[in-house]
Each structure stands twice: as C-alpha cells, then as structure tokens.
Structure 1
Amino acid sequence: MKQERRHFDKEFKMMAVNLCLTGKSTKDIAMELGIRPELVRRWKREHESYREGSFSGHGNANLTNEQKEIAKLKKELRDAREERDILKKAVSIFSRNDGKYSNS
C-alpha cells in the first residue's frame, strides 16, 4: 500500500532551519522532528540560498528578478524560433513549381 506524502508548512521548515543554526546536528534535529536528515539539509541549503524567498511552496522555483527575466526571454526566443521554423516550412511548400498552389 502506498504511503501518503507528507507536506510541511513554511513555519515548520523555518523552525528546523533555526534549530540547525543553534549548532545541533541535522541528524539530531531530524530525529526530534520525525523526518529524514536529508530534508533538514535541503531546507537549510534552500534557506541559505534564498533567505526570505525560501519555501515558496507547491514546487514553485525561487527565482531572483534576473533569473525570472532570463526565463522569460528564453521562452520568447523559443517561441520566435518555433514560429520561424513554421514559416520556413510554409514558404517551402508554397514556393514549389508544381503549379498546385499558384494561379498559373
């Protein structure tokens, strides 16, 4: 039988990270809280990287403004390339000399 996945709120994660900052080992903290030590280490790493932006929830990436802008520009570039490729194919189809697609 499949075990249900546990979800932890931001306050719980922050409490675990704060306990790490007191000098206790992640293994001890994990045992006290009933979770795996890997979770505590990951939460600590995320908090060190993003500070206030950490633990946004629901798998949303914590991106800086620059990273958001880069992601937006990459998406626009991908869309423009796709549109260009479609137009190239359309031009090649309509420029054939078999008379199928022209009035001549």
Structure 2
Amino acid sequence: MSKRKRNYTTDFKKKAIELSYSRGSIAQVYRELDIPSSVLSRWRREFSEYGKNSFPGRGKPKLIEEQREIAALEKELRDMTI
C-alpha cells in the first residue's frame, strides 16, 4: 500500500530547516518531525540556493524576483510586437 503524499507549508519547511541548522543534526530533526531525510535535505539545498524565494508553492518554478521581472517584460514586448 502506498503512502499518501503529504503537503507541507512554507512556514513548516523553513522552521524545519532552521531547526536542522540550530541543532546541527538533520537526523534528529527529520525523526522528530516525521519527514523523510531526503525531503529535509532537499529543502535545505533549495533554501541555500534560492533563499527567500524558496518554496513558492503549487509546483511553480522557483524564480527569483529578477527572473519574474524579465519574464513580465518579455511578455509585454511580445504583446507590443504582435
């Protein structure tokens, strides 16, 4: 029987990351929070790479503010040239 996919809030993810750094032990944190070690490791990696833009939700690509602005400007340019 397969496990149901769990959804975690952005706040939960950030607090889990914070705990893992403050305690110095990923293993202790993932056991306490009952989350897979690979998930916590991925969250830490994503947070170190994207910072405050991590975990945008709903599977949207992780775009930093500048990338979002560029995408909006490119769309505006396409709309103007058509």
Shorter-chain TM-score category? 0.7 to 0.9
Partner of 1:13: 13
Structure 2: runs of 5 or more not aligned: 75-82
- CA-atom RMSD in angstroms: 2.0
Which of the pair has more CA radius of gyration? 1
Identity value in percent: 31
How many residues are aligned here? 72
Partner of 2:51: 51
1:31 partner letter: R
Structure 1: runs of 5 or more not aligned: 74-104
Q: What TM-score do you get using the length of structure 2 for normalisation?
A: 0.73
Q: Moved runs in structure 1, 4+ residues, more than 3 A? A: 65-70
1:11 partner letter: D
1:34 partner letter: D
SS, match of residue 15 in structure 1: helix
Q: Greater CA deviation, 29-38 or 18-27?
A: 18-27
